[in-house]
Structure 1
Amino acid sequence: MTDGKLLEPLRDSPLPPSGVDLHRAVRDGRRRIRHRRIATAATAGLAVVALVATAPTLLDRGDRPAPPPVAAVPTATGTPTPAAPLPDRAPAAFDPARQYADLGWLPAGLTDRTVVTRSTQLTLYAAAPQPGGEGMRLMLRMVPRGSDIALADDDNFVRPAGSAGTSGLTAAEPVAGRPAWWNPVAVVGRGAALRWQYAPGAWAEVGLINVPAGTDPQALVRRIALDIRYAVDRPIPVPVAFRALPSTLKPMSYQVTTRPGGGWDARLAYGTGKRTKYGDWPLTVQLMPRTSEKGDGSVLADPDSTIDGHPARRRTSGDGGASLQVYNVQGLYVEITANDEATLRALGGDLDGLFRGTTFRPRISDWR
């Protein structure tokens, strides 16, 4: 197994009280492998870094062809970047359908971008594709007011305010006058991680690995941190529009990756605020460009039915839910899953109506 893991929404609900839930173990393992490989099956994907207090964690590159090398990254010792204004107040929760903050200045070559949202956290990734996955990679982690960022290696990094502490951190020069610390990050390659209080009671962290030789990682990270843009509050463009989605199912988590040349993949989750007993959001929709009307002989099985002339595959899922996979829908692979019986009932007992009531937008330029 590689040193990577999928940046899928993790399960923050407690495990069932019994010792080992075999159904959940099998389900989680299959889903983790499936989501990782589906997202990388069609195009060369993004390898992103989860850079925290111990070591970096990268997305598995699987069998993807290596992208071409990118240009050398400039150092951060040239023109200084003025600090972007920091907000006086952070939101108590993020809107998963909107992007609260954005990256400003970045070194050349960080072309692959991913945004991952929840009400409790926001993560932005940027990566420079390189053969062997050794290009520079960046992650910005943010939490709303009243939360802290874990010092452990955990994608679900939200902690109660004040619980993370500063033990082991090194004091850094303030960011726009706000307290800041360097994380004691042990990295494979060259890197650094800086965290700061971007608003009273709210924290952000920038981590960077594989910084080119001859460049000061801390200087580069600090320059990036000084140019973060706050309160941009813009909708996250997505490749679908639902006309038949019940009003009770609200956005819970978005994960959208875009790449140069039009490559992308998206995973959208909806619900009522609570996860199912197996830790899923009630409704998940995954899409990626893929024109094949067959499976891949591995994770994606061959279709066994049709819907409106498209090859399809229907299956039941855990806890009374169902899954609909549709192949080559305007050049897209689409997978819709109701993860429990209540959600499936709310959708009319099957997923056909939701699929037929959805507008698909294969081109990024058409997203909104």
Structure 2
Amino acid sequence: MNDMRQLLEVAKADAPPVRVSVDDIVRAGQRRVRHRWYARAAGVACGVAAVVLAAASVLPADHPAESGPVGSVAVAPAPLFAFTFSGYAVGDYRVGDPLEVTPGYQRADITQSNVDVGDGPPVALSAGTLTVYRPGAFQPDTFLRDGKPVTVRGREGRAAVIAKRVLVAGPERSSRLNPTERVVDVPALAWQYAGGAWATIEASYLAERTMTAGVQRQLAERFTTRVPVAAKVPVRVTHLPDGWRLGSAGAGSLVAGDTSVALLRFVPAATDFGGLTGPLDLDANPAAIRITVAPVETEGPYPHPFDPPCPAGQHFCDVKIDARYYAEVHDQSGTLSDAQVRAIADGLRFATVADKGSWFAVTG
């Protein structure tokens, strides 16, 4: 169960922190996030829950996750869409294997297990996000300006309290419509894991359960790199309109309730993944083409794959892969014609989704 969305904006503000209950957290993790035309048509923010949104599905790595560091590997230029670290644990906190990779960074969810919520058995909750930037891709301006100097494994770092915008429910606890934003202060840490290469840990806001600066330091101390391994997905894209490039690949979008098996995002070719002060919000970026592989949905008001598979004027196409899985092409930009969206869908080629050994390496 995950309950945090990527950093929407780093900004200073005087707004008081919002109190988020554990009941809201648990409800958020049970919701299925939508990035569909019908959610937009209804005027509902896709996937808005009572807490900051995060991913609930993890792309298993090609190796067992380690419970601790497996030894540092010198940072060298890696393929743009390769994973360069593995999951590891420190006490009840676990950094998962990376969920997504972009030309500028990789991200993984951090969870805390054995959390006593006071009602039922202990649960696991999302505690934050680890972002590992390619050498030279991150500009730690906020941390250098406002952070306190720290040393992580003999290298420069900064510990700071950053202002994070979070989405919360409406006036009523059960409301998911007309959400409001609040600015809350959370601990964060940035450090150089190699010369010119930075990583950050940002806590999610869980009131008194927010991950402490001390835990972040412990997680940073245990972080190591590994030999790069190409991200793999069960879909290959053979056709794309001019002017687009692959922006991210992986298992999910760090959005709560997302059950995707794999997700590719294509962004305008001019999108810059260098000189970053934080991750790009590719989920909120309307100028994107998303290609998702997910389990077939036979229940609920919006079953998928949809019939007809490419409804006119709705900027998406569904493609049935087999009895268990389907793919969706979603033109979030709203700029492609029905024929262009269908052409992308017709050009998809699939591996055996249930057999990860057959998946395609992502080459960009």
Pairwise same-fold verdict (TM > 0.5): yes
Q: Deviations over 1:131-163 (max 9, x none)?
A: 798725231112233343xxxxxxxxxxxx363
TM-score (norm 1): 0.55
- Give the aligned partner of residue 301 of structure 2: 297
User: Which residue pairs with 2:199 in the alignment?
Assistant: 204
The residue number in structure 1 matching 2:72 is: 85
In the superposition, relative to structure 1, how do residues 167 and 109 fare at CA in structure 2: closer, same or farther (>3 Å)? closer
- Counterpart selection for 1:329 from 294, 305, 322: 322
Q: CA deviation at 1:121?
A: 2.5
Counterpart of 2:146 in structure 1 is 168
| Residues 90 and 200 in structure 1, CA contact (< 8 A), matched pair in contact too | no
> How far apart are 1:27 and its partner, in Å?
8.2
Q: Separation in 2 of the partners of 1:336 and 1:59? A: 22
Distance 1:218 1:279, change over 3 A: closer
Partner in structure 2 of residue 273 of structure 1: 269
The answer on whether the counterparts of 1:96 and 1:119 sit within 8 Å (CA) in structure 2 is yes
Matches within 5 A, 1:1-368: 7=6, 30=40, 36=47, 57-59=52-54, 85=72, 87=74, 91=77, 95-108=79-92, 110=94, 115-128=99-112, 135-148=125-138, 161=139, 163-172=141-150, 174-184=151-161, 192-208=187-203, 217-242=212-237, 244-245=238-239, 250-257=245-252, 264-270=260-266, 273-274=269-270, 279-280=285-286, 283-292=289-298, 296-297=300-301, 303-305=306-308, 312-317=309-314, 322-326=315-319, 329-338=322-331, 339=333, 340-341=335-336, 345=340, 350-355=343-348, 357-364=349-356, 367-368=359-360
Q: Given the superposition, is the C-alpha separation of residues 60 and 29 from structure 1 closer, same or farther in structure 2, using an over 3 Å criterion? A: farther
| Percent of matched pairs sharing the same residue | 14
Deviation at 1:97, TM superposition (A): 2.5
> Structure 2: 5+ residue runs without aligned partners?
10-35, 57-67, 167-183, 254-258, 272-283
How far, CA to CA, are the matches of 1:214 and 1:164 in structure 2? 24
3-state secondary structure, aligned to 2:104: coil
- CA distance 1:35–1:254, change in 2 (3 Å): farther
Distance 2:124 2:144 in 1: 30
Tell me, in whole angstroms, the C-alpha distance in 2 between the residues paired with 1:190 and 1:34: 24
Q: Is the 8 A contact 1:254 1:269 kept in 2?
A: yes
1: CA distance, partners of 2:321 / 2:125: 32
Secondary structure of the residue aligned to 1:297 is coil
Q: Please list the CA deviations of residues 172-209 of structure 1 after superposition, one character each: whole Å capped at 9, or x if unmatched.
A: 2x112111221225899998532212233332112346
Contact 2:305/2:320 (<8 A) preserved: no
Change (3 A) 1:343 1:181: farther
CA distance in 1, matches of 2:326, 2:152: 43
Q: Is the 8 A contact 1:112 1:257 kept in 2?
A: no
> Does the CA contact (< 8 Å) of 1:95 and 1:118 recur in 2?
no
Contact 1:140 1:204 in 2 (8 A): yes
In the superposition, relative to structure 1, how do residues 127 and 82 fare at CA in structure 2: closer, same or farther (>3 Å)? closer
- SS of the equivalent of 2:351 reads strand
- Secondary structure of the corresponding residue to residue 246 of structure 2: strand
> RMSD across aligned C-alpha pairs, in angstroms?
5.1
Secondary structure at the aligned position of 2:292 is classed as strand
Distance 1:128 1:169 in 2: 25
Name the CA distance, whole Å, in 1 between partners of 2:156 and 2:222. Answer: 16
User: Aligned to 1:229, what secondary structure does the other structure show?
Assistant: coil
Contact 1:146 1:201 in 2 (8 A): yes
Distance 1:168 1:8 in 2: 17
Higher CA-based Rg? 1
Distance 1:108 1:33, change over 3 A: farther
